Structure 1
Amino acid sequence: MWKREKMWMIKPPTEHPKECKYRPVLESLLPRDPMSRFNLKRSSPKEEFPNLDRNYTLMGGILDLHMYTRQFNRATESGVIFDDVIRPGLEDTGLPNGPKSVGCLAGDAQSYILFCDFFDRIIESYHGYRVTSDAVQESDFNYDNLKGGDYFDEDYVVSCEVSAGRAVDDFCFPVHCSRGERRHLLALAKTVLEQLSEDLPGKFYSIEELSCESEDRRVVMDSPPSSLIKTGVARDWPDGRALWLSKDGSLAIWVNMEEHLKLVSFRSDGNLQEAFKCVCINLMKTEILYKKLRHPFIWKHHLGWVVSSPAEVGTGLKTSVTVKLLHLTENKRLEDILDRLRLRMEETGCPGIYNISNLQTIGFNEVELTQLVVDGVKLLIRMEKRLENNSSIEDLVPTKK
């Protein structure tokens, strides 16, 4: 009897009329897990785990079943799942003796947050930079702070180039965006570059126009680059892709290629200062114009300028100098020297001619990264001159930058 009375003392929670009425509305406002919207015909993570044998990308070396399982049931608001992120590295597995590629691409900006334990390890492995929540990536477009970039020894330097990629907020990245998004991005770019042409006259070309040679243009593109085909970025080619060229030839801006925008300044001399200045000035101008259209470039305090490839987050900047090096490339210490200088060397296809560029894009600002290339190339040229005279270069080997 006592138990029965005790049970009746436990009253059910009171339901208020308004609470009953508005509960469905309130529940509908709660954010849903995007993955719950899909009906993907997938097996378990163990059965879906990709074959990474002979995969020479950083993704192939970092990914294991435990990490794959953690990412397996996650999806961004735009529908990017982890298999989308790693697919580029499964399509292009890299070379055993070639430079390591990251083997992955973000489908949107949220990918870097949702799959952060994977992307942070990729960034750390590629750039040698540890991503932390309290880190702040700095940016510096003051080209006057660059020292010595206006002159290289003409007997050794063939050309130079500075490029920078940007992603536009509220759009998926090229590997994942829809045709509609790509066309919207193209329309935005046309609006912005028409205004940019008021200060730097230039002309907009569709990819269809680039397939035919013309006297007023130096770029011909008959088909998409193989790198875009392998990563899936060349979908719907050539729909929505374009190139803007300044009339003086100082600047090219690619639209909807590897990134939403890529600014490139190429010079057939060694004046890296002018190429860097051109990119800095026009990056700042285009950023202002995109902000006016309420579509700023994507920036995250701990990653800097966010783009689709983790190999280019931070500044999105690549500075390259083409140099003649006949003796240094035969030296056994070259790989260690490049590592100490934080530089990358790539063959051009011409004997004795190499591209020297920054490997890292995060952890330094734009001026600092370009300064690394300037100082590094000048040091490599000094070493080359020493070796031409059969002299030692041991005293020139730098400490780690």
Structure 2
Amino acid sequence: MSTPNVPCGLHLNSIDDLTGYPVFPEGTKSLLSKFNTREIWEKYKDKRDAYNVPYKLCIFSGVKNLDSGIGVYAGSHDSYKVFSDLMDQIIAYYHKHKPEDKHVSDMDASKLRCPPLMSDEAAMIVSTRIRVGRNLEGYPLAPGVTKEQRHEIMEKVVRACSTFVGDLKGTFYALEGMDEKTKNQLIADHFLFKEGDRFLEACGCNRDWPSGRGIFHNADKTFLVWVNEEDQLRIISMQKGADILAVFERLSRAANHIESVAKFSHDEHLGYITSCPTNLGTALRASVHIKLPKLAKRKDEFQAIADKYYVQIRGIHGEHSGSVGGVYDISNKRRLGRSEVQLVQDMYNGIKAMITREKEL
């Protein structure tokens, strides 16, 4: 017998309140509202993945937060298999990546084709930043991980980071019990991450905050690892200026080293496994802050170049923010079905085209 309807929204406090089929109000745009049919709900409503994470928890963020874009967080690698009737549709819609498609990862920086920019072009770029998200094999993802598992993950990452040498060598800072001086310095450096937002709160990612979480950075402050934020690792390489190859090379070297010590969760269909389906594949975001005041005045032309090279335009404070002083954040749009090298290449090709047009104007 099918379950009754339950209206979605903020009045739902936990998955215990989800006693029937979630009904979204008209105008809801999330992919969960699009694909979570009554048939799929009836099939999965009482199911759990291999790590005991319930289907209801995987969809609860989108059921509670009606302004979600996706509305789904996987509780483990197994969630993508056990709840495949929903997950496959979301992945195919968002990434154009079908169930039979394969993903090939490639972090070999020597394959990147990005000749140094001319001095007047490089002067347009304020800073470069490339990051990847990673999770360890053999553990559930953030919605399903226990406090003890979170500490095990942190210990493994700290152990891996302690073996860095040369320019990657640095220090790990646990968030729990952090002294004010360290905290203030990490805030000043824009390194400190905060407790997750209401979307992450709803799927259980914020439990036990700040226990089992921390930050590693190198002495030069050009390399950073966040431990147990949305994903178990967020590996970040950044520096002032336009040397994209140097930033990607550092990131590749660091990620490959960590993976040699602590194996990442990965498969040939989905690539690197992440909690949010949008990050699957590479979980890579390569971006520059770049000054394009003339091109920015021609919004349609600006967007056309972005679309041609698979990049997205954001304000300098992220999505939906505005530009400051004609500076924009330009980053790769694709994640899954293309390698890390190809996605950094997307970003380089896109900004090169934008710079060329800015100079013409």
Change (3 A) 1:139 1:178: same
Residue matched to 1:22: none
Please tell me whether the aligned partners of residues 165 and 316 of structure 1 are also in contact (alpha carbons under 8 angstroms).
Answer: yes
1:44-63 residue pairs with structure 2 within 5 A?
A: 47-63=20-36
TM-score normalised by L of structure 2 = 0.84
SS in 2 for 1:327: helix
2:56 to 67, 70, 83: 83
Please tell me whether the aligned partners of residues 167 and 220 of structure 2 are also in contact (alpha carbons under 8 angstroms).
Answer: no
Change (3 A) 1:86 1:336: farther
Residue matched to 2:72: 104
Residue matched to 2:233: 261
Q: Where does structure 1 lack aligned partners over 5 or more consecutive residues?
A: 1-39, 96-100, 291-295, 389-401
Instruction: Deviation per CA, 1:158-186: give whole Å up to 9, x if none.
Output: 11100011111111111221111111111
Instruction: Deviation per CA, 1:339-393: give whole Å up to 9, x if none.
Output: 332111111242422111112111111111110110011112222333x3xxxxx
Confirm or deny that 1:159 pairs with 2:127: yes
Confirm or deny that 1:233 pairs with 2:205: yes
Residue matched to 2:246: 274
What is the alpha-carbon root mean square deviation over aligned residues?
Answer: 2.6
Residue matched to 1:377: 351
C-alpha separation between the residues in 2 aligned to 1:233 and 1:41?
17
Confirm or deny that 1:136 pairs with 2:108: no
C-alpha separation between the residues in 1 aligned to 2:207 and 2:301?
43
Change (3 A) 1:63 1:262: same
Change (3 A) 1:237 1:347: same
Please tell me whether the aligned partners of residues 54 and 93 of structure 1 are also in contact (alpha carbons under 8 angstroms).
Answer: no
AA at the equivalent of 2:57: D
Structure 1 residue 149: Cα displacement = 5.7
C-alpha separation between the residues in 2 aligned to 1:118 and 1:125?
11
Residue matched to 1:339: 307
AA at the equivalent of 2:339: N
Please tell me whether the aligned partners of residues 210 and 220 of structure 1 are also in contact (alpha carbons under 8 angstroms).
Answer: no
Change (3 A) 1:274 1:52: farther
C-alpha separation between the residues in 2 aligned to 1:198 and 1:325?
36
C-alpha separation between the residues in 1 aligned to 2:18 and 2:344?
48
C-alpha separation between the residues in 2 aligned to 1:130 and 1:328?
33
TM-score normalised by L of structure 1 = 0.76
C-alpha separation between the residues in 2 aligned to 1:142 and 1:221?
29
Residue matched to 2:43: 70
1:182 to 131, 150, 174: 150
Structure 1 residue 200: Cα displacement = 2.8
Identity of aligned residues (%): 24
Structure 1 residue 251: Cα displacement = 0.7
Change (3 A) 1:337 1:251: same
Change (3 A) 1:255 1:327: same
Please tell me whether the aligned partners of residues 150 and 274 of structure 1 are also in contact (alpha carbons under 8 angstroms).
Answer: no
C-alpha separation between the residues in 1 aligned to 2:165 and 2:39?
51
2:93 to 125, 134, 148: 125
Please tell me whether the aligned partners of residues 42 and 48 of structure 1 are also in contact (alpha carbons under 8 angstroms).
Answer: no
1:299 to 266, 277, 281: 266
AA at the equivalent of 1:194: S
2:160 to 184, 192, 197: 192
SS in 2 for 1:354: strand
Residue matched to 1:360: 334
Instruction: Deviation per CA, 1:169-222: give whole Å up to 9, x if none.
Output: 111111221111111111212222112257732001011466624497534648
SS in 1 for 2:92: helix
Confirm or deny that 1:252 pairs with 2:227: no
SS in 1 for 2:287: strand
> Which runs of at least 4 in structure 1 moved beyond 6 Å after TM superposition?
40-44
AA at the equivalent of 1:340: K
Deviates more, 1:313-322 or 1:339-348: 339-348
Please tell me whether the aligned partners of residues 141 and 366 of structure 1 are also in contact (alpha carbons under 8 angstroms).
Answer: yes
The alignment covers a number of residue pairs equal to: 334
Structure 1 residue 240: Cα displacement = 0.5
Confirm or deny that 1:224 pairs with 2:224: no
